Chains A and B, each alone.
Chain A
């Protein structure tokens, strides 16, 4: 009888103990910490930081959106050729990037750039016209754009690291990952005879100038 009571108490405390502790852990997770756990971007301390973070996110979102449209334009022309699958693969990765930025923008309540319709059109036209120059043209366009984007991501990473690497860990991780993907696209473009297009130097620099202008505009508008 006594032993039965003992085992009953022992069993009860075994069950209740972990449940209580789990409930304990749930009870008062500091709201700031729980927000950090689920959001990539830390809550800004002041309006300066908010402005900086919003600019970064806005221009990155615009960049991924533009890249998407460029690949869409290239696929529209070269979709059924032998380079189709290659471009499709790169496009799919860009779609993943865009989805991630859409998520971040929504949860941080960042205003998207008002020039999106412009990038929509310009990106598609750029992709399609570069693809009309053939596979090498499309690859040259890819090389130029991806080089611009990875340079841009690098400068953002530098800026965030200078400010406070610990505070922006998740954001830095995401930007680094995306930058590595873009560099991979750049290398793929080079591998597939981007440099053999006539007027490569001119084409590359013109596209990169356009990208710089786009980045400048999207940060502000």
Chain B
């Protein structure tokens, strides 16, 4: 089997070399064209496909080097991290990480396809992680009916044409469903924030002030719960179960970190912690208020959010003022002491 693997890698290495040589030849031809200055307009799309070719060949080489690494015992935990980090990377900063995401995805596939080890790169094969994700996403539409439970997962599996016994894949049952939903919402939020960030970079949108940005981010994120608001208390209690707490805290911390990052926070001191703690508090309390809010379009919740954010802003301003006042007072005292020393003649040097 290792021989087959070797053959596969040398074949694909050859394919990559061929692609690179083709690209190099095209590059040389292009330079010839460019020096004559004959076809400047045609050069542009050619050049772009050239760099795309380089890029794809580079990706494939990178993929090769990664799949050559000894496939570590492909436990679900390891895959989960790879897929999770792949989707996090993709969601977190698409302009930087979109290149690594397909590479990471491709790398995670050969690691875990148990069935077919010979021949194909297995591009049609789905990992267990991806299958689970599909089932859970399909299960979400049954949540209003069945609540956050294994029945919803079973119903979801059935819409995909799988037997309801596939719920056996989910060791955590309803917990898996809730965590999947939370992680999906977080990715959606990160996509939206990244898109806004891009718009600002391109100059197509005005940068928002921090308070307004955070307010909008928290509102956008909490609005994703509106279709499931009836059953959300059940979901929250599931998230508070001891074996789910580490995962739910991790999701919460990445959510808050993303929000602050896109709000422009680049602090590397204790402010990193205080800011995130403050935002976590705001987010959690607003979520709780939302659960028992019956006003039209949750207007009370958004007002509550406004007030909390205003509180934090006020606290920060007050802290700064206190510090400035303190410094001024100290300087005044020193001035008074020096004056006293002068008056009593203690400052004279003989």
Q: Which residue of B lies closest to A112 (CB)?
A: B268
Q: Which of A43, A47, A109, A116 is close to B81, meaning CB atoms less than 8 Å apart?
A: A47
User: From residue 11 to 62 of chain A, which have CB atoms closer than 8 A to chain B?
Assistant: 13-14, 16-17, 20-21, 23-25, 27-32, 35, 43-47, 50, 61
B207 within 8 Å of A (CB atoms): no
Q: Mark B175-199, 1 if CB is under 8 A from A, else 0.
A: 0000000000000000000000000
Asked if residues A43 and B40 are in contact (CB atoms below 8 Å), the reply is: no
Asked if residues B273 and A109 are in contact (CB atoms below 8 Å), the reply is: no
Asked if residues A30 and B48 are in contact (CB atoms below 8 Å), the reply is: no
Size range of the interface on B?
A: 35 or more
Bound Cα distance from A107 to B99, whole angstroms: 18
Contact partners of B89 in chain A: CB under 8 A: 43
B289 within 8 Å of A (CB atoms): no
Contact partners of B40 in chain A: CB under 8 A: 13, 16-17, 20-21
Contact partners of B43 in chain A: CB under 8 A: 20-21, 24
Asked if residues A20 and B97 are in contact (CB atoms below 8 Å), the reply is: no
25 intermolecular pairs with C-beta atoms under 8 Å apart = A13-B36, A13-B37, A13-B38, A16-B37, A20-B40, A20-B43, A20-B44, A21-B40, A21-B47, A24-B47, A24-B48, A27-B47, A30-B51, A30-B99, A31-B97, A31-B99, A32-B96, A43-B89, A43-B97, A45-B66, A47-B81, A47-B85, A106-B266, A109-B257, A112-B272
New contact pairs (15) apart from A16-B40, A45-B104, CB-CB < 8 Å: A20-B41, A24-B44, A30-B55, A30-B58, A30-B99, A31-B95, A31-B96, A43-B100, A45-B66, A47-B82, A105-B268, A106-B268, A109-B261, A114-B273, A116-B270
Residues of A within 8 A of B (CB): 13-14, 16-17, 20-21, 23-25, 27-32, 35, 43-47, 50, 61, 101-102, 105-107, 109, 111-112, 114, 116-117
